[in-house]
Structure 1
Amino acid sequence: MAAVTSPFPSTLYKFPISIHYTSHPPILSHTKMSILPLSIFILLTTTAASLQTLNTNTFVNPKLPPITFTDSKKNEGSSELVNLRYHMGPVLSSPINIYIIWYGKWAPSQKLTIKDFIRSISTTNHRAAPHPSVSDWWKTVTLYTDQTNANISGNILIAGEYSDRKYSHGTHLTRLTVQDVIATSVKSAPFPVDHKNGVYLVLTSGDVTVQDFCRAVCGFHYFTFPSKVGYTLPYAWVGNSGKQCPEVCAYPFAVPGYMGSGGPGSLAPPNGDVGVDGMISVIGHELAELSSNPLVNAWYAGEDPTAPTEIGDLCEGLYGSGGGGGYIGQVMKDGSGRTFNMNGRRGRKFMVQWIWSPVLKACSGPNALD
């Protein structure tokens, strides 16, 4: 945990002061504080031989660490109390093949923005972006290892795409029917069942509702059941919240109505699409957790594997230094006033949440100020 600057001096003084209340002492309550008249009497006594003065001896509690001062800003979400542990399961240490399933109607520009983000992750991409970059952000994810000490891969490839424009399973999906969508896309043979390196990313358009979407989740990851798909395959789902709940899943590009004019207001999305720009951060969140906990038995905090706290959950809502308590942190703006915190390929800019670092034991991002 980063050192905390104390507002109190480390030296404790003993004053010969008597405090006398002319009535009852001050009353503190949850709703108001009532301070009644207060008289303070300071009594100084002298003798012919000496003058009684203030005792300025320093008292130090040997059981407490010394108070230190720091200007470090690396305290976003940091805590020695976060018990993120490795549970001996696999991580995605081999090159990662991502198979995108576009469910519903998608504009070509929306697809291109999302694909540019995913292609910006790979450290082997020859079109490297300037710092701070998406690939710099992924380096925190690659710090996680499996029991053989193999790191999560930095080599990520879009290996295939499938467009389900006819809503093969309707315009409302449950968590289980998301797996049916994967099964349909695999059976349609646009790409193979890649049970060794494959990750399946289901993206639903803005007119598709999904179980718990907007109410409890903006995306999730899990693995398919053999009874559904024929194999156990890691997958993630993320929905476009642009028309349904941008104030929930695309914050800070949209803000809740109750904030009104009293809050900071919404920020301009870096690619001009509130729904898709909001999805980018959720996709990053889910890919990071899917890579570090693909079968829900690798890296997570908490004792319940069915409801784990993962490396993205620990830093949700943090995008820059100083973030926390509803403040996203210090981010950047381009010449058009659009907000971003990292660069991608082909001149793209993105806003992606930070990730928990197992080395720093704090949330970390490439745009950190220290």
Structure 2
Amino acid sequence: MKKNVLIAVYNMEIGGIERSLINMLDSFDYDKYNVDLLIYHHVGEFMSLIPKSVNVLPEIAKYSVFRKPVALCLKEKQYSLAFTRVLAKYIAEIKSKSMNLEEGSGYIQMQLAQKYSSFLLPKLEKHYDVAISYAWPHDIVAYKVRANKKIAWVHTDYSKLEIDNELDLNVWDQFDYIASVSDACQNSFLSTYPTLKKKLMVVENITSPNFIKKMAEEKPTLIENEAETFKIVSVGRLSYVKGFDLAVEALGRLHKKGLTNIKWYIIGYGGYEKELKDLIIKHNLEDSFILLGKKTNPYPYIKNCDLYVQPSRYEGKAVTVSEAKILGKPILITNYPTASSQLENGIEGVICDLSVQGLVKGIEDLYRDQDLKELLVNNIVRMDYSNCFELEKLYRVIS
């Protein structure tokens, strides 16, 4: 008898969490498990990449409102839910000011919106063996899904996430297991929620080398092909967290040092775009620091770069760094708190200081030292980064 598994995620927009979910679904054992995918809002370029063996549940209108503009919620006649969104925004702004949060009220607003909306949302009728909430916030699976066991996924460094931890703790208590994507990520979570230690398990992001290499065969567009151009690629949401502002300043300094043939390509989208464009203009890098926007398939760009760089301020475990390893690229990442769990410094890549100068030195070293680049590449191409065996941990929980 097959076990019934539910996996829930907000949408399938381009992002690291969604990309890791696609890899996991691509590797799932469908001979033993029936997998229902609950997508709260049926949008996103990754919708077309969902394996055919997955049963995508119909969209539930009330589940889709949490990231829509309030005006659109009103247009769709979701009046009560629109009101809870406005109320959540108002209270979150007050809370964030009292807590002196650097990133504002966005995360707390999401928490409060789901809390206040809980009694308005319908429950799923089907009962599952296991229900997985794959992305935070986890309220819907916690309160609206019936299952023998429930698992919530942790993808980020919770010591850096600006949320109402007490409010979140009430939700975590509804889950039997909390799966973190790395040991470092688990430790940062544990430092914030020490009482949840017994629920924690590590299930790394699933990487499917065959899938990634196949996707990388497509031809990239809008990227230099000239041999004399040194191409850097980074992938990530356009946000303060990803450190692309540091990257702009670093490229400006590299050009001033005479390394004007370096071009930096960013794949991603997000609310930080205007600030980045202003910085690019300020440093006269319009032709060298290039925002490529959304790309359903980032792998051809990674494959065709000379250096992959992750300039983040913090990460849980960056999916794209693992993917750059699979594609055999030299890698530079900043020393964010979980960096040492991402790669072995000097073996699989280089970890530089988390600063503009750190990025400048790291890039310049890899630009000038061909032997170092070849050493890193030779090391990673000999390694097997397939880790579908990580799913065995999940299967044991389901059983």
Task: Answer whether TM exceeds 0.5 for this pair.
Answer: no
| Structure having the higher Rg | 1
TM-score band, normalised by shorter chain:
under 0.3
Higher helix content, 1 or 2: 2
State the structure with bigger RCO (CA 8 A, min sep 6), 1 or 2: 1
Q: TM-score, normalised by structure 2?
A: 0.19
Q: TM-score, normalised by structure 1?
A: 0.20
